[in-house]
Structure 1
Amino acid sequence: MKYVRALTFAALAGVTIITATGCSVARDQQTLGSYVDDTGITTAVKTRFAEDKSVAATSISVETLNGTVQLSGFAKSQAEKDRAEAIARNTKGVREVRNSIVVRP
């Protein structure tokens, strides 16, 4: 009985690890390590947006894949759009920024 419990736990842990890492790796998108890095980059960019009063952090979405940051959403001016891009570019770990923010008066 004791061994059945240990084997069940080991099998469950193995399935969890494979499921957590297997999906993204199978799609050739990224490894678990780069996923963690990308999450950190996204969080850092969003935090810097929230700290900067010239950028409406709630109106701009940030997504990161393999160090490439995708900005989308709406800005009130071209200056706000440019500032958001500059913030993202100057964040540690960012390799490239794709700015799809739409300026809306």
Structure 2
Amino acid sequence: MNAISRYLSATFLAVTLLTSVACSSTPKQEGTGEYVDDSVITTKVKAAIFNEPMLKSAEINVETFKGVVQLSGFVSSQSAANKAVEVVRGVGGVKSVKNDMRIK
């Protein structure tokens, strides 16, 4: 019985370690939980941009990686770009904002 118990314990420990390593993040790849969190942040950011009257006609793309939001696309003026960054910084979960928007 003792050998079987040790074998099952070792197997359980190995499976647990493999599972936790497979779901963890690396500097260039998100873990499962982080991916879900970033999806939620992206959705909130898009809604906040859409709800801002000054930005409704803007063509802004949103990508999030580990809480860092990257804005790209086109806006009508520098003030619109500044407003977009300001709106995004106010969204919960956003760690920082990268502004790659262009004025058209």
What is the TM-score with the length of structure 2 in the denominator?
0.72
- Looking at structure 2, the residues matched to 36 and 69 of structure 1 have their Cα atoms a distance apart, in angstroms, of 14
Other structure's SS at 1:54 match: helix
**CA deviation map 1:53-92 (0-9, x unaligned):** 1013650000000000000000000010001001111110
Q: List gaps (5 residues or longer) in structure 1.
A: 1-17
- Looking at structure 1, the residues matched to 89 and 23 of structure 2 have their Cα atoms a distance apart, in angstroms, of 29
TM-aligned CA distance change 1:29 to 1:100, over 3 Å: same
- Looking at structure 2, the residues matched to 57 and 90 of structure 1 have their Cα atoms a distance apart, in angstroms, of 20
The corresponding residue for 1:97 is 97
The corresponding residue for 1:11 is none
TM-aligned CA distance change 1:67 to 1:27, over 3 Å: closer
Question: Which of the two has higher C-alpha Rg?
Answer: 2
The corresponding residue for 1:56 is 56
TM-aligned CA distance change 1:57 to 1:32, over 3 Å: farther
Runs of 4+ in 1 over 4 A off after TM superposition: 22-28
Equivalent pairs counted in the alignment come to: 84
The corresponding residue for 2:78 is 78
Higher mean C-alpha displacement, 40-49 vs 24-33: 24-33
Higher mean C-alpha displacement, 72-81 vs 56-65: 56-65
Q: List gaps (5 residues or longer) in structure 2.
A: 1-18
TM-aligned CA distance change 1:23 to 1:61, over 3 Å: farther
What is the correspondence of 1:1-105 to structure 2 with a 5 Å cutoff? 28-56=28-56, 59-104=59-104
- Looking at structure 2, the residues matched to 33 and 98 of structure 1 have their Cα atoms a distance apart, in angstroms, of 22
Higher mean C-alpha displacement, 27-36 vs 72-81: 27-36
> RMSD value over aligned CA atoms?
2.3
Verify the 8 A CA contact 2:55 2:80 in the aligned structure 1.
yes
Verify the 8 A CA contact 1:85 1:99 in the aligned structure 2.
yes
